[in-house]
Amino acid sequence: MADRPSDRFPWFLIAASVLLVLVILYVLFVGYLPAKQRIAGLEAELKDLYRREADLQTKIAQQDQRYSVRERQISALTSERDTLIRRLEELERLLGRPPTPRR
């Protein structure tokens, strides 16, 4: 008689298959899905940070622009003041008065 396949189930193979399915489910639900959700949360947080950075960069650019305008205004006012002081000194000299002290 030739070797006839046994009619019994190979219980070791079935147990190993069930164990493999359990390990796969554990890795999928305990490891992969939470990590994927965490990545999605981090990506959303990163987008928010990029948006806030862009807002701050805009504010900095506006402040730089205002600062340069103020600097130009101060320079123009200083120049105008110096011109007026020279003109006053010139007029006082023409009138023969002693020059007024500068402040």
Backbone angles phi and psi of 9, in degrees to 5 = -75, 145
Average pLDDT, the chain: 89
| Residue 2 pLDDT > 60 | no
Mean pLDDT of 20-29: 88
Contacts of 85 (CB under 8 A, 6+ apart): 102
The runs of H, that is alpha helices, within the chain are 11-26, 33-95
Write down the pTM of the prediction. Answer: 0.54
**In this predicted model, what pLDDT tens digit does every residue of 73-97 receive, in sequence order?**
999 999 999 999 999 999 999 998 7
pLDDT tens-digit readout, 37-56: 999 999 999 999 999 999 99
Q: Give residue 1's pLDDT.
A: 47
> What is the Cα gyration radius of the chain?
43
- Find where tokens 């020279």 sit: 86
